């Protein structure tokens, strides 16, 4: 998003060009922009998102032709509602289908988890324990007890992830 409260300005626009909608919705990476552009054009074509022509002419052209001619304006409200819904659905699908995340991101996450578990099992410089949870088994038990209803929080999954996190932290 923009700095300096640009969201307020977005809320003043009833319609905006497809590329502006993509910049609003996307992180800017080329793969993201193209994927979301195609999803948006399909939604426009199906009528899931409202639009109008920039030139005010009739709607005889397809949304793909209008977009290629830079004549397509997306309605803000229906776009935002649709984009939030799609983003939520994609996130749920990726969790349900266990779609692997980027290896670099996973490595960073595992290193952080490994460091947190390691720190929990250490003592501060003055000899005080950082945590009462002194071993990995106790950490797993408490996570399952408190968050067992959340996706990915099960004894088996946590034991595997914490072991992988320890390996990542140690660089093996």
pLDDT tens for 145-161 read 998 888 778 888 888 88
Q: Is 61 helix (H, G, I), strand (E, B) or coil?
A: coil
Q: Which two tokens stand for residue 78?
A: 């229906």
3-state secondary structure of 39: helix
Confidence bin at 30 (pLDDT 50/70/90): low
**Domain residue extents for the chain:** 6-96, 103-170
Max Cα–Cα distance, the chain, nearest Å: 77
Question: Residue 124, SS3?
Answer: coil
> Tens digit of pLDDT for each residue in 49-59?
999 998 888 76
Q: What is the pLDDT of residue 75?
A: 92
Q: To the nearest 10°, the Cα dihedral for 65, 71, 76, 80?
A: 30
Judged against a pLDDT cut of 80, whether residue 92 lies above it is answered with no
- Give Cα 39 to chain centroid, integer Å: 16
Q: How far apart are CA 155 and CA 54, in angstroms?
A: 56
Q: Quote the pTM value.
A: 0.49
Given this model, what pLDDT does residue 33 score? 79
pLDDT band at 48 (very low <50, low <70, confident <90, very high): very high
Q: Give the lowest-confidence range in 22-26, 76-80, 167-171.
A: 22-26
Q: Which residue has the higher pLDDT, 25 or 18?
A: 18
pLDDT at 1: 42
End-to-end CA distance of the chain: 38
């Amino acid at each position: 998003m923009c700095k300096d409260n640009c969201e307020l300005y977005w809320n003043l626009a009833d319609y905006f060009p497809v590329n502006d909608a993509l910049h609003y919705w996307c992180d800017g990476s080329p793969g993201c922009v193209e994927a979301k552009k195609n999803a948006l054009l399909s939604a426009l074509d199906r009528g899931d998102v409202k639009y109008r022509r920039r030139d005010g002419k009739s709607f005889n052209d397809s949304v793909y032709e209008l977009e290629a001619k830079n004549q397509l304006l997306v309605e803000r409200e229906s776009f935002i509602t649709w984009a939030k819904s799609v983003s939520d659905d994609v996130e749920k699908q990726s969790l349900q289908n266990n779609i692997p995340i980027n290896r670099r991101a996973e490595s960073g996450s595992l290193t952080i988890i490994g460091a947190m578990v390691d720190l929990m099992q250490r003592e501060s410089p003055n000899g005080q324990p950082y945590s009462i949870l002194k071993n990995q088994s106790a950490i797993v038990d408490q996570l399952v007890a408190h968050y067992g209803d959340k996706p990915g929080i099960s004894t088996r999954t946590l034991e595997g992830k914490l072991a992988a996190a320890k390996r990542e932290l140690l660089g093996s």
